[in-house]
């Protein structure tokens, strides 16, 4: 009768092996955007630097924990509730030892298996995976587990060559291991509108990369301020160009999820 069984939860990886491009900034804002829309969101901090855990815990009170490590030790997902609808699997530097350990190929499937088990009993609408700035165990585990990949990028001189490596690895995972992985597109972040380099790189991207640009966020001091307060930019600096660009860009991403 035309009834379609929808996929229960969407798993989205936010990745780029370059640091400081806005992975954590994007994950934080996408999570809040979806929670404000009434969805249930699970966020997994896959970066041993624990930046996302730190900013999210500003809201709920900081406690030391590294729940992400449990995923790689026992395929178990435990979380803390940050606010209604928002759950965090937090990380800290103790996660780093898994990156160096020789767990073999089995390690790359632990996140996928842990999520499958978890989602069978906990109906989340979205799972967001904030990746570290490397193409190691944690980013690859995210590609193995995710259905969608978002790539934040700063329009800078070296960002395009790195992008080629990232896309190649994601395509390899897609072909060999996870055919459901969809490279959704790029998010251009911290754009300096007035510089010629910024404009040239955007033109170069449009010429050389065939994946779509889903959102564009201007550089703004409000980004840092929001992260420091643990609140989204549209709360800290309502009506500013960055707040407006976030609303517009995140709406576009959400409509394509
Ligand atoms: N649009 C922006 N304008 C200015 N600063 C930004 C912007 N987006 C992010 N930042 C800042 O840049 C730094 C790096 O961002 P972050 O999200 O931590 O990058 P990544 O997770 O990719 O390493 C952070 O201090 C963040 O607050
Ligand atoms: Mg980060």
Query: What is the spatial distance between Cα 134 and Cα 19, in angstroms, rounded to a whole number?
Result: 8
Whether 51 lines ligand 1, by a CB cut-off of 6 Å, is: yes
Note the pLDDT tens digit of each residue in 6-28: 456 799 999 999 999 999 999 99
Query: What is the spatial distance between Cα 217 and Cα 147, in angstroms, rounded to a whole number?
Result: 24
Q: What's the number of CA atoms in the CB half-sphere (13 Å) around residue 28?
A: 25
Q: Residue 5: what pLDDT?
A: 43
Q: Which atom of ligand 1 is nearest to the CA of 219?
A: 3
Note the pLDDT tens digit of each residue in 130-145: 999 999 999 999 999 9
Query: What is the spatial distance between Cα 120 and Cα 18, in angstroms, rounded to a whole number?
Result: 33
Q: Residue 1: what pLDDT?
A: 41
Nearest ligand to the C-alpha of residue 18?
1
Strands (E) across the chain are located at 10-14, 41-45, 80-83, 86-89, 126-130, 148-153, 182-191, 213-218
Q: Residue 153: what pLDDT?
A: 94
Whether 220 lines ligand 1, by a CB cut-off of 6 Å, is: yes
Return the number of other C-beta atoms located less than 10 Å from residue 147's C-beta: 17
Q: Residue 176: what pLDDT?
A: 95
Nearest ligand to the C-alpha of residue 246?
1
Whether 241 lines ligand 1, by a CB cut-off of 6 Å, is: no
Q: Which atom of ligand 1 is nearest to the CA of 51?
A: 18
Tell me the pTM: 0.95
Q: Per-residue pLDDT tens, the chain, 257 aa: give them.
A: 444 444 567 999 999 999 999 999 999 999 999 999 999 999 999 999 999 999 999 988 878 889 999 999 999 999 999 999 999 999 999 999 998 777 788 999 999 999 999 999 998 999 999 999 999 999 999 999 999 999 999 987 777 778 999 999 999 999 999 999 999 999 999 998 777 766 777 777 777 788 899 999 999 999 999 999 999 999 999 999 999 999 999 999 999 99
Strands 213-218 and 126-130: unpaired
């Amino acid at each position: 009768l035309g009834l379609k069984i929808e996929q229960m939860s969407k798993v989205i990886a936010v990745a780029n092996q370059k640091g400081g491009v806005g992975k954590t900034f994007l994950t934080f804002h996408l999570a809040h955007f979806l929670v404000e829309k009434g969805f249930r969101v699970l966020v997994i901090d896959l970066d041993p630097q624990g930046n996302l855990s730190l900013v999210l815990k500003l809201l709920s009170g900081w406690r030391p924990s590294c729940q992400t490590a449990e995923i790689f030790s026992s395929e178990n997902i435990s979380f803390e509730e940050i606010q209604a609808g928002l759950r965090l699997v937090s990380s800290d530097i103790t996660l780093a030892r898994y990156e160096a350990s020789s767990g073999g190929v089995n390690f790359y499937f632990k996140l996928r298996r842990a999520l499958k088990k978890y989602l069978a009993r906990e109906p989340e609408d979205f799972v967001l995976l904030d990746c570290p700035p490397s193409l190691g165990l944690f980013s690859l585990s995210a590609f193995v587990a995710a259905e969608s990949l978002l790539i934040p990028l700063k329009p800078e001189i070296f960002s395009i060559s790195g992008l080629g490596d990232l896309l190649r690895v994601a395509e390899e995972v897609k072909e060999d291991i996870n055919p459901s992985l969809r490279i959704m597109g790029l998010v251009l972040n911290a754009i300096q509108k007035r510089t010629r380099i910024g404009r040239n790189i955007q033109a170069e991207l449009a010429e050389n990369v065939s994946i779509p640009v889903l959102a564009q966020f201007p550089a703004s001091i409000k980004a840092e301020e929001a992260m420091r307060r643990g609140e989204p930019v549209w709360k800290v600096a309502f009506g500013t160009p960055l707040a407006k660009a976030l609303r517009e860009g995140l709406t576009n991403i959400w409509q394509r999820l």
